Amino acid sequence: MKLLRYGPVGQEKPGLLDAEGKIRDLSAHVADIADDALTPAGLAKLAALDPASLPEVTGNPRLGACVGNVRKFIAIGLNYADHAAESGMAVPAEPVVFNKWTSCIVGPNDDVKIPQGSTKTDWEVELGVVIGKGGSNLSEAEAMDAVAGYCVVNDVSEREWQLERGATWDKGKGFDTFGPIGPWVVTKDEITDPGNLKMWLEVDGKRYQDGSTKTMVFNVATLVAYCSKLMTLMPGDVITTGTPPGVGMGQKPAPVYLKGGEVMTLGIEGLGDQTQKVTRA
């Protein structure tokens, strides 16, 4: 299934994308694409529905963030060896874990706003893992049972605040609008191998990132199990799993950062794509 949320900001309704690419309204069956709806029992209930029996949503509604009521937006750094190299950093022996504040989450096609005074706002296409069953202290063998599905994430980053303003990355990762997620959650049964998905990102039509999840240092099961040792994972938590090379910070001979007015487009094989206009706060 491809589960989504549509409608004005703060008034999103739950929906799914049918086989013909039409949005179907799930409001009569679930309050939101969040919480218990993402558990195995909740997904089974939705999977049993006949999409043709659901009301069709006409027009071209705004797509909201594909998960509502996200409690934790967990991020993994330097999880692609080639990205670590372009960043001038060592491949980590253990996952690098940081937070993106949930207030940064926006829809997949909403504007991304450069923070006041920023000169180093950057892009990162990433595979997002949406937690369904959750739990703590999971083994790698148990980890995939905790996953509801996957989505596209743009881990927008302000590099000065991330790397030059103290020791914690979190400061550069959670500015408002720095977390577009969606367009939909694709349930894990539709993704045969999350470790072999093509991914890409363009700015104003120029392709900067052109990679694959197959070059991840730590795979999805390892990351879910590792994070579950640090915190209890809950339905609707999102783990964004790192980016391949091609970020603005790594461009040669000089870094390329967003200035405002650009259009970012990005996507992952089987998970859809996003388009964001870059503005200034």
DSSP notation for 163-213 = HTSSS-GGGGT-STT-EEB-S-EEEGGG-S-TTS-EEEEEETTEEEEEEEG
Residue 166, classified by CB atoms within 10 Å of its CB into exposed (0-12), middle (13-18) or buried (19+), is exposed
Report CA-CA distances (Å) from 218 to 94, 195, 240.
Answer: 8, 10, 12
pLDDT category of residue 87 using cuts at 50, 70 and 90: confident
pLDDT at 107 over 90: yes
pLDDT at 89 over 80: no
Report CA-CA distances (Å) from 52 to 21, 26, 27, 60.
Answer: 12, 12, 15, 19
Q: Which fold has domain 73-280?
A: Fumarylacetoacetate hydrolase; domain 2 (3.90.850)
Taking the complete model, does pTM exceed 0.85, yes or no?
A: yes
C-alpha 4/C-alpha 1 separation (Å) is 10
Q: In this predicted structure, what is the pLDDT of residue 134?
A: 87
C-alpha 94/C-alpha 223 separation (Å) is 10
Mean pLDDT of 121-126: 98
Q: In this predicted structure, what is the pLDDT of residue 276?
A: 98
Per-residue model confidence as pLDDT tens digits over 198-250:
999 999 999 999 999 999 999 999 999 999 999 999 999 999 999 999 999 99
pLDDT category of residue 170 using cuts at 50, 70 and 90: very high
Mean pLDDT of 181-203: 97
DSSP label at 91?
P
Q: How many residues does the chain have?
A: 281
pLDDT at 124 over 90: yes
- Provide the mean pLDDT of the chain: 96
CATH 3.90.850.10 domain extents, the chain = 73-280
Six-digit token pair at 80? 């692609």
pLDDT category of residue 88 using cuts at 50, 70 and 90: confident
Q: In this predicted structure, what is the pLDDT of residue 231?
A: 98
E strand segments, the chain:
2-6, 13-17, 23-25, 73-77, 96-99, 105-106, 112-114, 121-122, 125-131, 147-154, 157-158, 179-180, 185-187, 198-203, 206-212, 238-240, 263-268, 272-280
Percent of the chain with pLDDT over 70: 100
| Residue 132 burial (CB count, 10 A) | 26
Q: In this predicted structure, what is the pLDDT of residue 241?
A: 98
Per-residue model confidence as pLDDT tens digits over 262-273:
999 999 999 999
Half-sphere exposure (CA, 13 Å, Cβ side) for 209? Answer: 34
DSSP label at 144?
G
